[in-house]
Every structure is written in C-alpha cells, then in structure tokens.
Amino acid sequence: MKPLYMPLLIIFYMIPAAIAVDPIDKVAELIRQGNTRELSKIFAETVEITMQDEENVYSKVQAGLILDKFFSQNKPVSVKMLHKVNSNPNYLFAVLIVNTQKGPFRIGYTLKETEGSLALIELRIETEKVK
C-alpha cells in the first residue's frame, strides 16, 4: 500500500469512534419521539419512576407500560436539554424540558453502568412550572 493512502485509511477507521452516540442524547431523542419500545430496551431490571408526586419502583415491563400511557396522553412536540452531567462514564444524569400538546414537563433521568452497559435506573416526570 502506498504511504499516500495510509492517512486516509487511518481516518476511515477513526470515523465510527468520532460519531458515537452519547447515551444521554440517545435517551433524549427517544423521549422526543415518545418511543417507549426502544426506551424500554435501555431500562434496568427495576426502574424508579416518580410521576406527579407518586414515587415507586417498577419492573422493566411495568415501567414501559407506565411511560407508554404517559406518552399516549402527552405527545412530545419538542425537547430542550436543560442540564447534563456526564463527567463519570458509569453514572450519567440529564434534565429535559419536554413540550407536549398538553403543556411542558420536566423530565430527569439517570443512567448507571450495570452488567457492562448503561441502563436507565431512574425517571422523574414533573409538570414544568413556567416562569
């Protein structure tokens, strides 16, 4: 192989690493789409969900059903990242403002390294208090 093509070959192999999807952004996009099927694939075996001042720990399947009901009643229109903590690769946190057809919500979620991959362990959904 000619040395002229070597830099192009190196760049070609480095592109996938450069465009790796941030897990926080992936969850935010799934929430924007209201895609509970794909979102539930990221759930840990148990997920702590707080919604409208009611807090409980649910199984992966139950959490998917609860979110499916929420998104069927509140279709997302837009999502704005309010806060993002990704300094520790084993523990990620984000807060979104999700505008729906019925008004804005504040959604916070936590991803934690479990069994070699990141899993969603906590989800908080609150009505956003408009200032």
Mean pLDDT for 19-33 is 87
Evaluate whether 39 touches 31 at the Cβ level (below 8 Å): yes
Please check whether residue 44 lies inside any domain of the structure: yes
Number of domains in the chain: 1
Point out the least confidently predicted range of 38-42, 101-105, 126-130: 126-130
Please check whether residue 39 lies inside any domain of the structure: yes
Tokens of 69: 């009901």
pLDDT at 16 over 80: no
Please check whether residue 16 lies inside any domain of the structure: no
Q: What is the pLDDT of residue 33?
A: 94
Taking alpha carbons only, the member of 124, 127, 128 closest to residue 66 is 124
More confident residue, 102 or 14: 102
Taking alpha carbons only, the member of 126, 129, 127, 123 closest to residue 27 is 123
CATH number at residue 25: 3.10.450.50
pTM of the model: 0.80
34-23-85 Cα angle (round to 5): 105
The domain in which residue 69 lies consists of: 21-127
Please check whether residue 89 lies inside any domain of the structure: yes
Please check whether residue 103 lies inside any domain of the structure: yes
Q: What is the pLDDT of residue 128?
A: 85
Q: What are phi and psi of 15, to 5 degrees?
A: -60, -45
* pLDDT per position as a tens digit, 39-72: 999 999 999 999 988 899 999 999 999 999 999 9
Round to the nearest angstrom and report the end-to-end CA distance of the chain: 63
